[in-house]
Amino acid sequence: MKIEGYNFGEIIVNGRTYRADIIIFPDKVKPDWWRKEGHSLCIEDLEDVLKEKPEVLIIGTGAYGAMRVPDETLRVLRERGIEVKVLPTKLACEEFNKLVDKKKVVAALHLTC
């Protein structure tokens, strides 16, 4: 998986364009990812990620960082041995591309605000 481009509200992964939030797994993309509380990330929003058991989860909080990641969500992820990186989405995309060939990495990306 490779992120080829990101702009507000749009991302290109392996040649395919997505215009809604996504989760990128090592072998697939989950399109149209929606969260229970919109701009707050609950652990329930990451059930598919927990099943995947990544070494690293990169969370893209949006172009302006509007999506919040509560301490409780971070605690549960870290207790499961997952390294978590919380970044604005542009930086999250760059970090994903740096790590994708080195570790089992998943990216959960908010594409707009």
> Domains in the chain, ordered, with CATH?
3-109 (3.40.1230.10)
Task: Please compute the mean of the pLDDT values over residues 4-9 and round it to a whole number.
Answer: 98
Q: Which two tokens stand for residue 43?
A: 């652990």
For residue 96, the one-letter residue type is: F
What residues contact residue 42 under an 8 Å CB cut-off, 6+ apart? Answer: 35, 36, 70, 73
pTM: 0.97
pLDDT (average), residues 9-20:
98
Q: Structure tokens of 77?
A: 């992820």
pLDDT value at residue 38:
84
> Has residue 104 got a pLDDT over 90?
yes
What is the mean pLDDT of the segment spanning 89-93? 98
Is the CA virtual torsion 94, 66, 111, 50 positive or negative? positive
- Give the pLDDT confidence of 33-61 residue by residue, as tens digits: 999 998 999 999 999 999 999 999 999 99
Q: Among 76, 85, 75, which residue's Cα sits nearest to residue 105?
A: 85
